[in-house]
A and B are shown apart, each in its own frame.
Chain A
Amino acid sequence: MDFESLRGRIDAVVVGASAGGVDALVTVLPSLPRAFRPSVLVVIHQPRERRSMLVDIFSARCALPVREAQDKEPVQPGTLYFAPPDYHLLVDEGPSLALSADDPVLFSRPSIDVLFESAADVYGHRLAGLILTGANSDGARGLAAVRDAGGVTLVQRPDTAHVATMPAAALARGPADFVLSLEQIADLLRRVGGGHEG
């Protein structure tokens, strides 16, 4: 797949990360330009505290607006959303955001699989799914759902990941369109998300 064919096609990017995820996201998300058009929905496993620091950390660094996802909120283009701690984040018709307090999946709430599967259902081939560093296999199923729906799949190159388990598990489940380092991922997102010089 070449990225010229992706330009303008992607409405949303779903991102899953676990151990080492904040550092990985700090490499990727702040490089997205203000004119980046797709919505970005992120699940990162974190301790079950009620107030999360993620929004503070990333709004200080990112050109795009950063929010904690709210239930029933319409998904805005060019906005970064983080799943709140201890709730699953899903995409529902609209598209709008939905939270749920269902049981953890693979010991995780929020679960990467739950976000990816629901997003694949709503966005189909207009979705990109990205799996980053992590120490478990959450996201492997979800990325497969993105692939099955015709979406674009991206995985951090396991040998460049802080913990290789999660990207390796995603790749073991099926091939990805792009297996890249963090810098390359940032570059690819900038190109397909529009808003860069050209």
Chain B
Amino acid sequence: MRASKDLDIELKLLLDAIYLKYHYDFRGYAMASLKRRMTLAADHFGCPTLSHLQGRLIHEPDLFPELLNYLTVQVSEMFRDPSYFRSLRESVVPLLRTYPSLKVWVAGCSTGEEVYSLAILLREEGLLERTLIYATDINTQALQKAEAGVYAVDRIAAFTQNHSQSGASASLSDYYTAAYGNAVFDRTLKKHIVFSDHSLATDSVFAEVQLLSCRNVLIYFNRELQERALGLFKDSLCRRGFLGLGARESLRFSQHASAFSSLVWEDRLFQKG
């Protein structure tokens, strides 16, 4: 018990130091998994304790970008949970068609898999030409990869399977070219995407959108920070706008729950108002 209390103190101090030095605010994250990742990071950097890691972070700013890959979790996949995308096609797209122009926000887009999935889906549904997608994240390395839109070919089989289960009419191979062990996604998709650094913990609303997809990001936040993020989502969505969350996320414990109705509960699709 003693040892773990010390670890809690060290973690708190480390997060304070990161906030003061780098202005990234992880103080409102879910602590159990963050603690686990910071312990792995300390191992990786050869630091016997989180206090050592804190000292090095203050004096060696070059370490921070690498640490950011422990503070955040870059696990993603194209058309992850195919039924989410199928429900988007079936229950959301028909209503999106009624707008002359569309804005979509993918919050916590990681290395871009979810953004390209949405862009492909919107192209297949004939909506991409009138759409602008904002793709945001706090991890700038991830954002750079997202912007490049290049994925190792050994991941493509899984993406292809997900894509076809999402109710797609075409083949995923229509949207990339293979080169040197990589799949390079179609540039014309990218024309409709703006990538930018934006934190749900510290930044504010920047646009009004009709669809907002934020998947597997809120689970990393504590309840207070979830409330902040959901408040941003509520303010950013237009009247009757759509919100999609991760397969195991919900509004159940939120004060903002009453601002949304559930559209397809199984796939965590909600509608404002």
Contact = CB atoms under 8 A, between A and B. Distances in A.
Interface of A: 50, 70-73, 84, 86-88, 90-93, 98-103, 114, 117-118, 121-122, 124-125, 149-150
Nearest to A148: B3
Interface in B225-259: 226, 246-250, 252-253
Nearest to B39: A117
B207 to A, nearest CB: 26
A70 B223 CA distance: 13
A121 B4 contact: yes
B10 interface: no
B8 to A, nearest CB: 9
Given A71-B219, A102-B33, 14 more contacts: A70-B250, A72-B223, A84-B248, A92-B32, A99-B219, A100-B73, A101-B73, A102-B73, A114-B36, A118-B33, A118-B36, A121-B32, A124-B4, A150-B1
Interface string B61-74: 00000000000010
B47 interface: no
A90 B36 CA distance: 10
Nearest to A117: B36
Contact of B248 (A71, A92, A102, A121): A71
A149 B247 contact: no
Interface in B204-228: 216, 218-220, 222-223, 226
A71 B220 CA distance: 10
A101 B36 contact: no
B78 to A, nearest CB: 15
A72 B227 CA distance: 12
21 contacts: A70-B250, A71-B248, A71-B249, A72-B222, A91-B32, A93-B31, A93-B32, A98-B32, A99-B219, A99-B248, A100-B33, A101-B73, A101-B75, A102-B36, A102-B37, A103-B73, A103-B75, A118-B36, A149-B1, A149-B4, A150-B1
A144 B83 CA distance: 39
A118 B247 contact: no
Contacts of A149: 1, 4
B16 interface: no
Contact of B219 (A50, A93, A100): A100
A72 B223 CA distance: 7
A97 to B, nearest CB: 9
Contacts of A99: 219, 248
A118 to B, nearest CB: 4
Return the 8 tightest CB-CB contacts between A and B, nearest first.
A92-B32, A90-B32, A100-B33, A118-B32, A101-B216, A124-B1, A121-B4, A71-B219
A71 B249 CA distance: 7
A87 B250 CA distance: 15
A130 B36 CA distance: 21
Nearest to A119: B32
B36 A98 contact: no
